[in-house]
Amino acid sequence: GAGVSQTPSNKVTEKGKYVELRCDPISGHTALYWYRQSLGQGPEFLIYFQGTGAADDSGLPNDRFFAVRPEGSVSTLKIQRTERGDSAVYLCASSLGTSGAEQFFGPGTRLTVL
Amino acid sequence: TQLLEQSPQFLSIQEGENLTVYCNSSSVFSSLQWYRQEPGEGPVLLVTVVTGGEVKKLKRLTFQFGDARKDSSLHITAAQPGDTGLYLCAGAPGDSSYKLIFGSGTRLLVRP
C-alpha cells in the first residue's frame, strides 16, 4: 500500500503570495497531522485532524495559516501572505488512531519564500 | 513548555565504532519515540519506549528510557555507513499524546 504522499515536493513563492500544500494520508487513517521542520530543527506540531474536524490547531503560528480536511481524507494546508520566515519543510503524517498510535510521515513539501 | 534536548548535535565516526546519543528533558513524558530521517524524506519510527527503565533492542541499536521517563538514549554498536542520518527523539505529553514534541536531532555520519 502507498504511504503518505505530499504535493508539491518543492514550492518556491514570493513574499506576500498565497500557497496551498496537499497531503494524501494512508487509506483508512482517521487521524492526520501537520508539522513544520525548519532547517536544523526537529518537526514542530501545527495541527491535528480527527476525521474532518481540526481537533487541535494550537500549533498554527498565526491566522495566516489554515488547514482543511473536508472529506476526512486529503488535507490542504493554506498559507496566506507568505513571509520569508515561513520557509521550511512542511510534513504531514497520518495514523490509524490517536492516543499512542504510530504516526507515518510523508516526504514533506519544501517551501521557499523569496 | 516541554522541551527535548538532544546531544551531540553532530557526530562523525568511523565504520565499526560504537556511539551513544542522548535525549533529555526536565519534563515527564508518557512515551518517547526515536526516529531516523534521511534527506528529502519524512522521519521513520524506529522504536517507542513507554515504561521507565525500559530497554529495547533493534539489531545493533539499543534504546533506553530513563527511570523517571524524562530522558532516553540510543546506542549503536559497530556503526555502518547505512546508519548515517538524522536521529530524532520525540516525546508524547501525557495529556495530548498525539502532539509529538521533537528534539532538534543528532546528525550522524558513519565514514567507510
pLDDT digits (tens, 9 = 90+) for B29-56: 888 999 999 999 999 999 999 999 999 9
Of A43, A99, A108, the CB nearest to B102: A43
Return the pLDDT at A100.
66
Number of other CB atoms surrounding residue B5 within 10 Å: 14
A105/B44 CB distance under 8 A: yes
Domains of chain A: 15-95 (2.60.40.10)
Question: Which of A9, A44, A45, A89 best tests the B interface by mutation, with the highest count of B CBs <10 A?
Answer: A45
Angstrom distance (rounded) from CA A36 to CA A79: 12
- Average pLDDT for B90-101: 85
Cα(B31)–Cα(A49) distance, integer angstroms: 21
A104 interaction partners in chain B (CB closer than 8 Å): 45
Query: Secondary structure of chain A: what % helix, strand, coil (to 5)?
Result: 5, 50, 50
The architecture in CATH of the region B1-51+87-106 reads Sandwich (2.60)
Give the pLDDT of residue A41.
93
Model confidence at B17, pLDDT cuts 50, 70, 90, reads: very high
Q: What's chain B's average pLDDT?
A: 94
List of residues 6+ apart from A22 with CB closer than 8 A: A6, A7, A74, A75, A76
Ranges of residues in chain A whose predicted pLDDT is under 70: 1, 98-100
- C-alpha triplet B103, A45, A3: angle, nearest 5°: 95
